């Protein structure tokens, strides 16, 4: 069952969202849907790496700077 985890903004009603679904293949348990409806699938482990890299400032040091 898909569980809503987070909406990244709530201003426009079309904001990116993150969902977790423990009933699907491990490599597709996390779904990120962007504001255009495109979907990215990943494992919980990949999401954890992504979050940790963000917390450690990786994006501030890299491409998003």
Q: Exposed (0-12), middle (13-18) or buried (19+): which is 8, by Cβ within 10 Å?
A: exposed
Measure the CA–CA gap between 52 and 7, rounded to whole angstroms: 19
pTM metric for this prediction: 0.82
Number of structural domains in the chain: 1
Return averaged pLDDT per consecutive 10 residues of the chain, 65 residues in all.
Answer: 89 87 97 94 96 87 61
DSSP element (H, E) containing 39: strand 39-42
- pLDDT tens digits, residue range 31-48? 999 989 999 999 999 999
Residue 10, pLDDT score: 72
Domain with 33, as residue range(s), is 2-61
């Amino acid at each position: 069952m898909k569980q809503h985890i987070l909406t990244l903004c709530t201003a426009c009603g079309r904001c990116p969202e993150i969902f977790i679904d423990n009933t699907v293949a491990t490599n597709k348990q996390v779904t990120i849907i962007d504001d255009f409806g495109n979907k990215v699938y990943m494992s919980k482990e990949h999401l954890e790496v992504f979050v940790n890299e963000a917390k450690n400032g990786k994006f501030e040091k890299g491409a998003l700077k």
